[in-house]
Protein backbone atom coordinates (compact mmCIF):
# COMPACT_ATOMS: atom_id res chain seq x y z
CA UNK A 1 0.00 0.00 0.00
CA UNK A 2 2.83 2.36 0.89
CA UNK A 3 4.52 1.67 -2.46
CA UNK A 4 1.26 2.42 -4.23
CA UNK A 5 0.96 5.78 -2.46
CA UNK A 6 4.55 6.67 -3.33
CA UNK A 7 3.94 5.66 -6.97
CA UNK A 8 0.78 7.76 -7.00
CA UNK A 9 2.61 10.81 -5.62
CA UNK A 10 5.39 10.43 -8.22
CA UNK A 11 2.83 10.11 -11.03
CA UNK A 12 0.97 13.23 -9.92
CA UNK A 13 4.26 15.12 -9.54
CA UNK A 14 5.38 14.05 -13.02
CA UNK A 15 2.09 15.12 -14.56
CA UNK A 16 1.92 18.49 -12.85
CA UNK A 17 5.59 19.49 -13.18
CA UNK A 18 5.29 20.75 -16.78
CA UNK A 19 2.41 22.98 -15.72
CA UNK A 20 4.58 24.72 -13.14
CA UNK A 21 7.47 24.97 -15.57
CA UNK A 22 5.33 26.86 -18.10
CA UNK A 23 6.14 30.47 -18.89
CA UNK A 24 3.82 33.45 -18.72
CA UNK A 25 0.35 32.66 -20.00
CA UNK A 26 -1.87 34.95 -22.00
CA UNK A 27 -4.71 36.21 -19.83
CA UNK A 28 -8.34 35.39 -20.44
CA UNK A 29 -10.15 38.01 -22.56
CA UNK A 30 -11.84 40.86 -20.73
CA UNK A 31 -15.68 40.72 -20.68
CA UNK A 32 -15.59 44.20 -22.25
CA UNK A 33 -14.12 42.71 -25.40
CA UNK A 34 -17.26 40.67 -25.95
CA UNK A 35 -19.33 43.85 -25.71
CA UNK A 36 -17.05 45.66 -28.15
CA UNK A 37 -17.11 42.72 -30.57
CA UNK A 38 -20.91 42.67 -30.51
CA UNK A 39 -21.07 46.30 -31.68
CA UNK A 40 -18.08 46.35 -34.02
CA UNK A 41 -18.40 46.15 -37.78
CA UNK A 42 -14.97 44.55 -38.15
CA UNK A 43 -13.21 42.43 -35.57
CA UNK A 44 -9.67 41.06 -35.82
CA UNK A 45 -8.43 38.69 -33.14
CA UNK A 46 -4.99 37.13 -33.11
CA UNK A 47 -3.85 34.85 -30.32
CA UNK A 48 -0.40 33.34 -30.60
CA UNK A 49 0.79 31.23 -27.69
CA UNK A 50 4.29 29.85 -27.15
CA UNK A 51 3.60 26.79 -29.34
CA UNK A 52 2.26 28.80 -32.24
CA UNK A 53 5.11 31.29 -32.02
CA UNK A 54 7.60 28.42 -32.05
CA UNK A 55 5.86 27.10 -35.18
CA UNK A 56 6.04 30.53 -36.86
CA UNK A 57 9.69 30.98 -35.98
CA UNK A 58 10.62 27.74 -37.74
CA UNK A 59 9.89 29.44 -41.05
CA UNK A 60 12.53 32.02 -40.29
CA UNK A 61 15.61 29.90 -40.80
CA UNK A 62 18.20 31.16 -43.19
CA UNK A 63 21.18 33.39 -43.58
CA UNK A 64 19.19 36.61 -43.63
CA UNK A 65 20.23 38.70 -40.61
CA UNK A 66 16.78 40.27 -40.19
CA UNK A 67 15.11 36.88 -40.25
CA UNK A 68 17.57 35.52 -37.71
CA UNK A 69 16.96 38.49 -35.41
CA UNK A 70 13.20 38.11 -35.75
CA UNK A 71 13.46 34.40 -35.07
CA UNK A 72 15.44 35.07 -31.89
CA UNK A 73 12.88 37.62 -30.80
CA UNK A 74 9.94 35.31 -31.44
CA UNK A 75 11.64 32.35 -29.77
CA UNK A 76 11.94 34.42 -26.60
CA UNK A 77 8.30 35.49 -26.50
CA UNK A 78 5.61 33.73 -24.48
CA UNK A 79 2.59 35.04 -26.34
CA UNK A 80 1.05 37.70 -28.53
CA UNK A 81 -2.52 38.84 -28.11
CA UNK A 82 -4.04 41.32 -30.56
CA UNK A 83 -7.60 42.61 -30.74
CA UNK A 84 -8.85 45.26 -33.13
CA UNK A 85 -12.43 46.52 -33.16
CA UNK A 86 -13.68 48.87 -35.87
CA UNK A 87 -17.03 50.61 -35.60
CA UNK A 88 -19.31 52.12 -38.22
CA UNK A 89 -20.05 55.19 -36.13
CA UNK A 90 -18.74 57.00 -33.06
CA UNK A 91 -20.08 56.48 -29.56
CA UNK A 92 -20.10 52.69 -29.63
CA UNK A 93 -18.01 52.44 -26.48
CA UNK A 94 -17.58 54.50 -23.33
CA UNK A 95 -14.56 55.86 -21.48
CA UNK A 96 -15.49 53.58 -18.57
CA UNK A 97 -15.25 50.52 -20.81
CA UNK A 98 -11.80 51.60 -21.96
CA UNK A 99 -10.73 52.10 -18.33
CA UNK A 100 -12.01 48.61 -17.49
CA UNK A 101 -10.08 47.18 -20.43
CA UNK A 102 -6.89 48.86 -19.25
CA UNK A 103 -7.42 47.66 -15.69
CA UNK A 104 -8.00 44.09 -16.87
CA UNK A 105 -4.59 43.76 -18.46
CA UNK A 106 -2.44 46.12 -16.49
CA UNK A 107 -1.54 45.59 -12.85
CA UNK A 108 0.78 47.52 -10.52
CA UNK A 109 3.81 45.83 -12.10
CA UNK A 110 3.28 47.73 -15.34
CA UNK A 111 4.87 51.13 -16.02
CA UNK A 112 3.61 53.64 -18.54
CA UNK A 113 6.11 54.74 -21.18
CA UNK A 114 3.70 56.49 -23.54
CA UNK A 115 0.49 58.23 -22.56
CA UNK A 116 -1.34 60.38 -25.08
CA UNK A 117 -4.78 61.94 -24.70
CA UNK A 118 -6.44 63.94 -27.47
CA UNK A 119 -9.84 65.40 -28.26
CA UNK A 120 -11.11 65.40 -24.67
CA UNK A 121 -10.10 61.81 -24.14
CA UNK A 122 -11.84 60.47 -27.26
CA UNK A 123 -8.48 59.45 -28.65
CA UNK A 124 -5.78 57.93 -26.53
CA UNK A 125 -2.66 55.82 -26.74
CA UNK A 126 -1.13 53.92 -23.86
CA UNK A 127 2.05 51.93 -24.07
CA UNK A 128 3.01 50.14 -20.90
CA UNK A 129 5.80 47.74 -20.10
CA UNK A 130 6.16 45.15 -17.40
CA UNK A 131 9.61 45.20 -15.87
CA UNK A 132 10.92 42.41 -13.66
CA UNK A 133 14.45 42.61 -12.24
CA UNK A 134 15.29 45.42 -14.63
CA UNK A 135 14.18 43.49 -17.71
CA UNK A 136 11.15 44.15 -19.86
CA UNK A 137 9.01 41.02 -19.85
CA UNK A 138 5.84 42.36 -21.40
CA UNK A 139 4.33 45.18 -23.39
CA UNK A 140 0.74 46.38 -23.49
CA UNK A 141 -0.58 48.82 -26.08
CA UNK A 142 -4.07 50.27 -26.01
CA UNK A 143 -4.91 52.59 -28.88
CA UNK A 144 -8.33 54.24 -28.91
CA UNK A 145 -9.82 56.28 -31.72
CA UNK A 146 -13.43 57.44 -32.05
CA UNK A 147 -14.25 54.47 -34.29
CA UNK A 148 -11.53 51.98 -33.40
CA UNK A 149 -10.07 50.23 -30.38
CA UNK A 150 -6.81 48.26 -30.66
CA UNK A 151 -5.27 46.10 -27.98
CA UNK A 152 -1.83 44.52 -28.25
CA UNK A 153 -0.37 42.43 -25.45
CA UNK A 154 3.06 40.89 -25.90
CA UNK A 155 4.50 38.67 -23.20
CA UNK A 156 8.23 38.08 -23.06
CA UNK A 157 11.32 40.23 -23.62
CA UNK A 158 10.24 42.95 -26.04
CA UNK A 159 11.17 46.55 -26.86
CA UNK A 160 9.26 49.18 -28.82
CA UNK A 161 11.67 49.00 -31.73
CA UNK A 162 11.08 45.24 -31.94
CA UNK A 163 7.48 45.80 -33.05
CA UNK A 164 8.64 46.29 -36.63
CA UNK A 165 10.21 42.85 -36.63
CA UNK A 166 6.94 41.24 -35.58
CA UNK A 167 5.20 42.59 -38.65
CA UNK A 168 6.73 39.70 -40.55
CA UNK A 169 4.27 37.36 -38.86
CA UNK A 170 1.18 36.92 -40.96
CA UNK A 171 -1.79 38.81 -39.59
CA UNK A 172 0.18 41.11 -37.31
CA UNK A 173 1.12 43.54 -40.04
CA UNK A 174 -2.19 45.37 -40.10
CA UNK A 175 -2.76 45.11 -36.38
CA UNK A 176 0.59 46.61 -35.44
CA UNK A 177 0.71 49.14 -38.28
CA UNK A 178 -1.41 51.81 -36.64
CA UNK A 179 0.06 51.24 -33.22
CA UNK A 180 3.61 51.78 -34.42
CA UNK A 181 2.56 55.02 -36.08
CA UNK A 182 1.27 56.32 -32.78
CA UNK A 183 4.15 55.21 -30.63
CA UNK A 184 7.05 56.17 -32.86
CA UNK A 185 7.23 59.88 -32.07
CA UNK A 186 6.96 59.69 -28.25
CA UNK A 187 9.45 56.84 -28.25
CA UNK A 188 12.08 58.95 -29.98
CA UNK A 189 11.36 61.87 -27.69
CA UNK A 190 11.70 59.86 -24.50
CA UNK A 191 14.82 58.14 -25.81
CA UNK A 192 14.63 55.47 -23.14
CA UNK A 193 13.90 52.52 -25.35
Is position 148 an interface residue for other proteins (rule: CB under 8 A)? no
**DSSP strands (E only) in the chain:** 42-49, 79-86, 110-118, 123-132, 135-145, 148-155
How far is 85 from 135, CA to CA, in rounded Å?
A: 31
How far is 42 from 114, CA to CA, in rounded Å?
A: 27
CB of 109 to other proteins, least distance (A): 26
Binding-residue total with other proteins (CB under 8 A): 20
Which of residues 49 and 123 has its CB atom nearest to other proteins in the complex?
Answer: 49
- Contact by Cβ (8 Å): 124, 147: no
CB of 76 to other proteins, least distance (A): 18
How far is 31 from 90, CA to CA, in rounded Å?
A: 21
Which of residues 47 and 164 has its CB atom nearest to other proteins in the complex?
Answer: 47
34 Cβ partners below 8 Å, 6+ apart? none
SS3 144: strand
Is position 10 an interface residue for other proteins (rule: CB under 8 A)? no
Q: Using the rule CB under 8 A, give the single segment among 47-55, 104-112, 129-137, 181-189 that binds other proteins.
A: 47-55
Is position 51 an interface residue for other proteins (rule: CB under 8 A)? yes
Is position 27 an interface residue for other proteins (rule: CB under 8 A)? no
Is position 61 an interface residue for other proteins (rule: CB under 8 A)? yes
SS3 36: helix
Q: Using the rule CB under 8 A, give the single segment among 58-66, 118-126, 153-161, 185-193 that binds other proteins.
A: 58-66
Task: Give the residues lining the site for other proteins (CB under 8 A).
Answer: 37-38, 40-49, 51-52, 55, 58-59, 61-62, 171
Amino acid sequence: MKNRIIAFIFTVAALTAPAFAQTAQLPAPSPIEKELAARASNVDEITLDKNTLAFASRFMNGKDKDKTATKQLIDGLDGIYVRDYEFDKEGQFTTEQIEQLRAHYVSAEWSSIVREREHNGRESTDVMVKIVNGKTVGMFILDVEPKEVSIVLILGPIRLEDLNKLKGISGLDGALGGVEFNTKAPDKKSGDQ
